């Protein structure tokens, strides 16, 4: 009975810790840097959320396949 209770309590904690560690590795790995534009990391998102700031509009416009910026001045950032 005791083993079941320990496993029942530790298994979710181990799962959450594994997920947090995997995301930390993803965010800090230089091989993934090209997939993460500047200003879109979890720490920058949390900082904006805590300070109640709106994100820069250019974070969500993204480059177009031809290399120039997409004009989305008529759209609102959510």
Q: What is the mean pLDDT of each run of 10 residues along the chain (78 residues)?
A: 68 90 88 76 86 76 54 59
User: Cβ(70)–Cβ(61) under 8 Å?
Assistant: yes
In angstroms, rounded to a whole number, what is the distance separating the alpha carbons of residues 65 and 63?
7
Query: So what's the pLDDT on residue 58?
Result: 65
Helix (H, G, I), strand (E, B) or coil at 69: strand
CA count, 13 A, side-chain hemisphere, 26: 12
Residue whose token pair is 């959450």? 16
In angstroms, rounded to a whole number, what is the distance separating the alpha carbons of residues 38 and 61?
13
Query: So what's the pLDDT on residue 18?
Result: 93
pTM, entire model: 0.51
Residue whose token pair is 């840097």? 33
Query: Could you tell me what percentage of the chain is helix, strand and coil, using 3-state DSSP and rounding each to the nearest 5?
Result: 60, 5, 40
């Amino acid at each position: 009975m005791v083993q079941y209770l320990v496993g029942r309590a530790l298994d979710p904690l181990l799962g959450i810790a594994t997920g947090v560690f995997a995301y930390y590795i993803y965010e800090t790995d230089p091989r993934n840097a090209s997939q993460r534009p500047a200003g879109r990391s979890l720490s920058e998102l949390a900082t904006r959320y805590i300070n109640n700031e709106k994100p820069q509009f250019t974070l969500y416009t993204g480059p177009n396949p031809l290399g120039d910026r997409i004009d989305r001045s008529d759209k609102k950032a959510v």
